[in-house]
Amino acid sequence: MEGYKELIQKMEDAGYLTSAETAIPVFLALKLNKPILVEGPPGVGKTELAKVLAKVLNTELIRLQCYEGLDEAKALYEWNYHKQLIAIQSSKNNDDKTFVFSEEYLLERPLLKALRAQKKPVLLIDEIDKVDEEFEAFLFELLSDFQVTIPELGTIKARETPLVVLTSNGSRELSDGLKRRAVYLYIDFPEVELETKIILKKVSGICKELAEKVATAVHFLRRELDLYKPPAISETLDWAKTLALLGEERLTKEFIENTIGFVLKNKEDIETFYEKGGANRLLQYITENT
Amino acid sequence: MLKNVLFFVDLLRMQGFSISTGEIEDLLKALAMVNPQNKSELKAVFQATLLKSSGLKDSFSEIFDFYFTDDFLRPVPHPGVKRVDKAHRVNQALKQAGIYREIEFSTREKEVLNSLPPEVLQKLYEKIKQFYPNQIVDSFPLLEKTIRGVLKYYQERMVLPEAGVGGRRKDLFTANLKDLSERDYERVEKLIKRYAGRLNARASRRLKETRRKKYLNLRKTIRANLSHGGVLFRLKYREKKKNKPQITLLVDVSASMAIYAKFALSFLFAVARSLKKIELYLFAEDLEALPLKNYNKSLLDLKRLIEDSQQWGRGTNLNQALKSYLNIAKTRRSLRRTLLIFSDGKTVQFAETLGELKKICSQYRDVKFLNPVPAKKWQEDTLLKKLAQEVSMIETNSVEHLQAVFSKILS
């Protein structure tokens, strides 16, 4: 890949519209062979970014979903104890001495799978902020040297350096050590213009004017109202699809009131919406800004 | 270009950004891949390599725009030279206003002056211009205080996280508790419940190795029996950890601390089921026990409860409070208890307080001093510096900090 503009084009071809601000850090991570740490509010396309990169690089996506209590046995490797037991018991009757701590008895988990992949894979470590600090520290060796040490087998180095995408919703501050090892990318909600393009690309049967109005309406909900959970891009798309499905040609008060649940999924947020002028205020904002 | 990059990194470090040499190396490699004349490309590269926290994004952007003009390659004056100039310029402006005295700025104040946005500096000069020296009363101290006040404000702004960055939920989690309004309480309560709930769940899941026949630890059993040909005759068990911690919390409810107290109580009550025993005291001039029938109270109720106490809003005498506590605890002291003192350390009889703290630390296995003053300021304050040397002091001024404190206690 020559430059980040080519990457933007390839990502667009794969169905992910993005800006230079997002593409440049991804491009740098690829060129510098470094992991990329993606932060941003839920629903801006952090996980989707990794999926699209796998498509762009025409490679396998290996995903490690993080949660509290995740440990090495579930993330890296585990010995196949049942297989080891059978091997030991079956070798009792003959002289064949089986060494049960060999690769044959190893169960690959996502991290090890990524290191042993034949072709440079995309390793998505999703919601890294959910894991315990100890596990985060354990990842250091993997992220800086792309190798792991298994006591019984030795150090395993990556055949091809994987493109590691770490995502975080910011539920806790990550350690400095982890941040230092990664290129940083903050994805915010898209501006109206970009979101209009996303709607036009993903929703069939919607005209440009209506797409722009939907994007402006969602922009209003996110920026002007103090919401607990701002609408995600996927929710914008669902709302736009509903419009197209119902054959609506414009955003009306009735439509907004009947379908506001597609974009606001919290009782408090719906109350805030009506307190701040409801559909009338929203329509007024759309008229003023499109 | 290298000189400009290093000056910029220097400036970021002054503002509290932690940047390693490795990151500068990455930045220089990355700069070779973009067009340095395109400011937005440049900014994205700097951001990707030097910025590592969404909370600092706005601050980074402000500093970048302030430092880099459209022509990146234009030589930029060294910050050290600018620093001297600005402090000097303020004193020159004083002279021009007819005040023939100078303000002696500390190094930190000079750094803040140096990084002030031009419009703020302009306002500062205007303020000096508008100032008329009074022939009868010496009004210079007032002006000096005003200027130092402005610098202090901006210094704090650089240290404390700004509200409104990185999504609402995250703000409430990391925001300084004193910046929260009553409007936020309901959401903060939810947040506290959520994080406390996680800690409770984690505490209830804690298992330990045991010889008693409880839960079979299959993984360890198989592993232990591999050397015996796989015949399972040595079974390994585990059971739930039962030793819940006991906590005594002394909360400062003096004027400067009352705003924080309710949040600490709320968090403590939310993790109560993972604790064996809680003892709770409010203090200011002296100590006052708080009855433990206040679980499930909202933040507003806790606020009212604190305001109804005899100690609320009074001056702090930590020495007296510790003495009273030691007196009460004489008969039923447990060495295994964790003692938490939540106070900003601004107390009368400081020397005596240190003595009492030493005594307490020698009697208890675990004493933690939770201080809402940002850790970066401890070194600037002589008293806090001494306090930090005597006792394990932890910066605690946000839900995030409270969660970290209780997470350690419950782990």
Mutate to test the interface with B, among A67, A68, A171 (most CBs of B within 10 A): A171
CB-nearest to A85 from B51, B219, B230 is: B230
Q: How far apart are CA B360 and CA A181, in angstroms?
A: 42
Tell me whether A70 touches chain B (CB under 8 Å). no
Q: Residue B48 — pLDDT band, cuts 50, 70, 90?
A: very high
If you measure CA to CA, which chain A residue comes closest to B40?
A21
Q: What is the pLDDT, as a whole number, of residue B104?
A: 84
What average pLDDT does range A244-272 have in this prediction? 88
Q: What is the pLDDT, as a whole number, of residue B165?
A: 33
Q: pLDDT tens-digit profile of A10-22?
A: 999 998 999 888 9
Q: What is the pLDDT, as a whole number, of residue B183?
A: 76
Chain A CB contacts of B170 under 8 Å are 170-171
Contact: A21, B52; criterion CB under 8 Å = no
Residues in B 145-204 with any Cβ partner in A closer than 8 A: 166-170, 173-174, 187, 198, 202
Q: How far apart are CA B118 and CA B122, in angstroms?
A: 6
ipTM comes to 0.81
Tell me whether A14 touches chain B (CB under 8 Å). no
Q: Residue A24 — pLDDT band, cuts 50, 70, 90?
A: very high
Going by the DSSP 8-state scheme, the letter that residue A188 receives in this structure is -
Name which residue leads in pLDDT, A203 or B212. A203
What's the helix, strand, coil split of chain A in %, to 5?
50, 15, 35
Q: What is the pLDDT, as a whole number, of residue A205?
A: 83
- Nearest CA-CA distance, residue A244 and chain B, Å: 30
CB-nearest to A89 from B173, B222, B229 is: B229
Q: How far apart are CA B250 and CA B261, in angstroms?
A: 10
Q: pLDDT tens-digit profile of B149-197?
A: 777 767 665 543 333 333 344 467 888 888 887 778 888 888 888 888 8
Q: What is the pLDDT, as a whole number, of residue B132?
A: 62
Chain B CB contacts of A89 under 8 Å are 229-230
What average pLDDT does range B75-81 have in this prediction? 47
> Which residues are CB-contacts of A141 (< 8 A; sequence separation ≥ 6)?
A147, A148, A149
Q: Residue B81 — pLDDT band, cuts 50, 70, 90?
A: very low
Contact: A24, B44; criterion CB under 8 Å = yes
Q: What is the pLDDT, as a whole number, of residue B208?
A: 74
Kindly list the distances between the CA atom of residue B184 and the CA atoms of B43, B181, B189, B191, in Å, as whole numbers in the listed order: 34, 5, 9, 11
Q: What is the pLDDT, as a whole number, of residue A38?
A: 94
Chain B CB contacts of A40 under 8 Å are 54
pLDDT at A72 exceeding the cut of 90: no
Q: pLDDT tens-digit profile of A274-289?
A: 988 899 999 999 998 8
Sequential DSSP letters for B195-221: HHHHHHHHHHH-EEEESSSSEE-HHHH
Q: pLDDT tens-digit profile of B354-373?
A: 998 888 888 887 899 999 99
Contact: A24, B41; criterion CB under 8 Å = yes
- Nearest CA-CA distance, residue A105 and chain B, Å: 13
Q: What is the pLDDT, as a whole number, of residue A27?
A: 94
